Amino acid sequence: MINKLPKIKDKKSKRVGRGYGSGRGGHTTGRGQKGQKSRSKIGVLFEGMKVKKSLLKRLPFQRGKGKLKGGKNPIIINLEILNLLKDGTVVNIDSLVKGGIVREKDSKEFGVKILGGGELKKKMTITLPISESAARKVEKAGGKVVKTGVNFKEPVK
């Protein structure tokens, strides 16, 4: 019976600092004595590893505080999901939140963009950023696309 069990290839990593019974408990819990690596999280700018050139010197030059933060991409919605809304709806962030398609907090922070995946079977007026293929499908279904200055938010690259 025991010889028929499947072999487990992955070995779980030891959880350090969880007492002597874990096999890695006690005073320094396998982290050595002092230094930045022996403490909690290592920061992004930590340079104490064995690398020839600093991480910062290998990054492209950018000014400002947010240089280590990535860009925010919009929430992507395919056309077929808009079929959940009623016929003749004006599609904006409020109607998508009301329909339960996106969360209000995320849509306000990242924005929303509509892509042309699937088919649209209802007439709708869309006031959100939209791809060209999706705009053609909306107009083919009898709806229209309105580009407004405030609500139209292009993705950050």
If you write DSSP's letter for every residue of 43-93 in order, what string do you get?
A: PTT---SS-SS-HHHHSPP--SGGGGSPPPPPEEEEGGGGGGSPTT-EESH
Q: How far apart are the first and last CA of the chain?
A: 57
Q: What is the pLDDT of residue 150?
A: 46
- Residue 153: pLDDT above 70? no
In the predicted structure, residue 105 carries a pLDDT above the cut 50: yes
User: Do residue 29 and residue 50 come from a single domain?
Assistant: yes
> What does the pLDDT read at residue 31?
82
Whether residues 79 and 58 fall in one domain: no
Please state, rounded to an integer, the average pLDDT across all residues of the chain: 80
Whether residues 82 and 21 fall in one domain: no
pLDDT at 156: 45
- For residue 157, is pLDDT > 70? no
Note whether 80 and 108 are same-domain residues. Answer: yes
User: Is 80 exceeded by the pLDDT of residue 123?
Assistant: yes
48, pLDDT greater than 80:
no
- Whether residues 80 and 50 share a domain: the answer is no
Domain containing 29 equals 14-62
In a domain, 153, yes or no: no
Same domain, 102 and 140: yes
Please state the φ and ψ torsions of residue 147, each to the nearest 5 degrees.
Answer: -100, 115
The verdict on 58 and 96 lying in the same domain is: no
Do 80 and 138 lie in one domain? The reply is yes
* Residue 12 pLDDT greater than 60, yes or no: yes
| Average pLDDT of span 116-140 | 88
Q: What is the pLDDT of residues 87-96, one digit of tens each?
A: 888 988 899 8
State the total domains in the chain: 2
Q: Is the pLDDT of residue 119 over 70?
A: yes
| CATH number of residue 103's parent domain | 3.100.10.10
> Is there a single domain that holds both residue 86 and residue 116?
yes
Same domain, 57 and 83: no
Q: Residue 52: what pLDDT?
A: 62
Whether 116 shows a pLDDT value over 80: the answer reads yes
- In a domain, residue 99? The reply is yes
Segment 36-65 mean pLDDT = 72
The reply to whether 84 and 133 lie within a common domain is yes
Assess if residue 152 is contained within a domain: no
Within a domain: residue 116?
yes
